[in-house]
């Protein structure tokens, strides 16, 4: 008789990552990339030129980076937990995604209002591409949270 070797398990269970998780992770990555694009553009002589998020709004930059890292953890952990014997998370991730997405939308909405200037209309100042990309990505983040919520398995009744 031949000895049967136990089947080797992978390090990560990709079946635990749903479409909503991919949407949230992709939009979080686009939000992170938007930090490096111009948020404020000034064509005035001697003006600051184009500024990115780190120059003009350090707090918003830190929030976006922390939310991206939290999203990365929340997407990867269930796949690692199932194959490595780690305990499951004690909370539901779609609700956390939804809260983080709402905070991101409010943050980018505030930043859009911060760059509007009533008296600057004729001076050549405008919002940059990065702020708009971040707002759209944060809205997609909320859509991903809703898709993730709808893909949950229903609770078992006892």
Q: What is the DSSP string of 27-96?
A: HHHHHHHHTTS-SEEE-STTS--EE-HHHH-HHHHHHHHHHHHHHHHHHHHHHHHHHHTPPPPSS-HHHH
Residues of the chain with pLDDT below 70 are 1-13, 42-49, 115-125, 152-158
Report pLDDT for 140.
Answer: 95
Question: Is pTM beyond 0.75 here?
Answer: yes
């Amino acid at each position: 008789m031949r000895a049967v070797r136990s089947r080797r398990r992978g390090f990560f269970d990709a079946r635990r990552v749903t479409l909503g998780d991919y949407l949230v992770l992709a939009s979080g990555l686009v939000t992170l990339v938007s930090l490096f694009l111009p948020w404020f553009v000034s064509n005035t002589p001697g003006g600051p030129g184009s500024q990115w998020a780190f120059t003009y709004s350090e707090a918003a930059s830190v929030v976006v980076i922390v939310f991206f890292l939290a999203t990365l953890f929340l997407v990867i952990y269930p796949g690692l937990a199932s194959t490595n014997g780690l305990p499951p998370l004690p909370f539901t991730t779609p609700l956390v995604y939804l809260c983080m997405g709402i905070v991101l939308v409010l943050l980018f909405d505030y930043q859009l209002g911060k760059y509007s200037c009533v008296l600057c209309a004729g001076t050549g100042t405008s919002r940059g591409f990065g702020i708009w990309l971040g707002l759209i990505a944060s809205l997609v983040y909320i859509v991903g949270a809703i898709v993730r919520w709808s893909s949950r398995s229903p609770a078992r009744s006892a």
